[in-house]
Structure 1
């Protein structure tokens, strides 16, 4: 009886040892989501009892192994080469978690963590899901189409269109194209046809992730073109479609050659960078309410003409308002035109008068002086003395002819003497011209011949002048001149 009891006890102990060593502890499966291109940890733990063997598998594919107190890479699949590791310093504490680096789309799946110790074996399953969140959404607008695009997304997102004011649902039917790259990431492009006038509505395009945990919205409004006169204040409207908490506002101006930053405001810090400090301003009080309108104090036709873009940027959205502005040269009204024309007429008249005074008048005076000098020279020997006042030729003038004024007899005597001298000079010139004078040099003869010709010309001019009624010799002088000539 005692032997039978001892045998049963030994069998129970042996059976207990076998059950402990051959048993497997099963734990609930874990779900882990990792961001593509980030590092991710797959958790696994065990009860530490001395040495341990660790194996990680993905559907029977060796991912990572550890035994003999070190990592073993001999059986590792090349897809995971260089991208896995354990927390070796924590293994003795029961931590067998796997660090998977630079997660890829292909890493998605079910993983198994197997640990074996002196006290037994353990298996833990981890379901790994991967995703590439929506980074941004861009919206482009033409006259006929609105195009919304986003890149490097996983898994496939859902695209939702809306307008403000609202359009009928059938008008929001869109065409969406999905493509994948070599990494397995999606590029989504959705197109919506514009209904009516482009500037009538604001268009919204939202990308929603597959698990509905993320919504990224892009919106855009193209406003009517603005034509404005330079020098006059101009406000360019920009309204956010909804209230914003943390956002930044950017204003730019672009032309076919370049795009220029005007200003940038950050609502989170309150900082503003304004490159047009003297030309453009924002009302920050209105800005906090969603009004980001830009005020141009004195717009210039060349510098401030172009396409203005206002951009509200938030954590999961972007709103763009675009306006084409043409600054024109200031126009002149009718009164100003008439005033300007009158001013030019006055200026032209003044210029003509000034020209006449400066140029024409001196020429006329000089010409008259020259003519007077010629007349004085021509009649120097016929009763007009150069540089002396002329005698009155009026025969009825009693003052000049019969004057009883003092010095009259002296004047007549002086005139008779001057006439006698002139007759002597004429006789002398006649003799010289006829060669009756004494012998002289040939040069003197030539000079005298020239003088004679000049005298003859002067006499001819004098006769012509007399025929025209410009005789300036008094009757008394003619009588004196006749009486003084010698009788033939």
Structure 2
């Protein structure tokens, strides 16, 4: 089926990056940002009394349904639990043939292929939109994710008037990467990471020698689960 041109991409200026995606449109947003999925008739005919149906992926999850003023937000029309209370349309744009929707506070699970379907048009019309929700690294210890690293442990191994030797130890599954940063968030050159086993658990240890007074941060990152957590220590030198 040939896809008609999609318009109203200007709606995406505050809702992520948009680009062509094969025969459809790709919308890219950061996790927790809102996403506008565009769907408009090229004829710009009034669809206030029309029907349009948004579905997701091959499972055809119910995302949003509209039928002559009755829609998922004001009726008992079925909507998948994933999207309840998170999806709205642009009522004032229906007169322009615009059936776009907005998904608030996007999650990784929202990524996928969406279909915007006009079942009663002749011929029936379907628009395809791909939504990509980019991961955001953040402290996810409160989300009860198995293996998420706890706060790294920092020790001062040695200190003089003009330098201090710091050690950072972290663990998790998968084993996190560890970086040292200063108060300006600059990456610092540290010693080569050391991996050890203790009590059936893997630990990563990274030492660093610092030569100025500052607050130093040890950051543990697990990319695969979008988890990042840090510990800060203050170093006060007399030089």
Shorter-chain TM-score bucket reads 0.5 to 0.7
Tell me if structure 1 keeps the 8 A contact 2:193–2:204: no
Structure 1 residues 191-202: aligned runs within 5 Å: 191-194=204-207
- Give the Å deviation of 1:67: 1.4
Distance 1:194 1:174, change over 3 A: same
User: What 5-or-longer segments of structure 2 have no aligned partner?
Assistant: 6-22, 140-150, 158-166, 181-186, 197-201
Which protein shows a greater Rg? 1
- 2:67 corresponds to which residue? 67
CA distance in 1 between counterparts of 2:206 and 2:236 reads 21
Which structure has greater strand proportion?
2
2:134 is equivalent to residue 122 of structure 1 = no
TM-score, normalised relative to structure 1: 0.29
CA distance in 2, matches of 1:206, 1:193: 11
- In 2, distance between residues paired with 1:118 and 1:205? 55
Maintained 8 Å contact 1:174/1:193: no
Paired position in structure 2 for 1:36: 31
Measured in 1, the distance between the counterparts of 2:188 and 2:104 equals 45
Q: Name 1:79's counterpart in structure 2.
A: 82
Residue of 154, 160, 163 corresponding to 1:141: 154
With structure 2 as the length reference, what TM-score do the two structures score?
A: 0.54
Q: Assess, with a 3 A threshold, how the Cα gap between structure 1 residues 50 and 96 changes in structure 2: closer, same or farther.
A: closer
Q: Secondary structure at the match of 1:96?
A: coil
Identify if the C-alpha distance between structure 1 residues 126 and 133 changes in structure 2 by more than 3 Å, giving closer, same or farther.
Answer: same
Question: What residue number does 2:44 align with?
Answer: 48
Q: How many residues align?
A: 175
**Cα pair 2:29 2:134 within 8 Å, conserved:** yes
Q: For residues 63 and 120 of structure 1, what CA distance do their matches in structure 2 show? A: 23
Q: Equivalences for 1:269-418 in 2 at 5 Å? A: 309=234, 322-323=235-236
Q: Does 1:97 find its partner at 2:83?
A: no
Residue in structure 2 matched with residue 266 of structure 1 by the alignment: none
Tell me, in whole angstroms, the C-alpha distance in 1 between the residues paired with 2:37 and 2:56.
Answer: 12
SS in 1 for 2:99: coil
SS at match of 1:92: helix
Question: What SS does the corresponding residue of 1:194 show, helix, strand or coil?
Answer: strand
Q: Which residue of 2 aligns with 1:25?
A: 3
Q: Deviations over 1:35-74 (max 9, x none)?
A: 3333221111113345532100012111111112331552
- 1:159–1:190 contact (8 Å) kept in structure 2: no
Structure 1 stretches lacking a partner, 5+ long: 1-22, 150-155, 176-188, 211-215, 223-308, 310-321, 326-488
Q: Deviations over 1:135-155 (max 9, x none)?
A: 58x865204630469xxxxxx
1:174 is displaced (CA, Å) by 4.8
- Structure with bigger helix share is 1
The CA RMSD measured in Å over matched residues stands at: 4.4
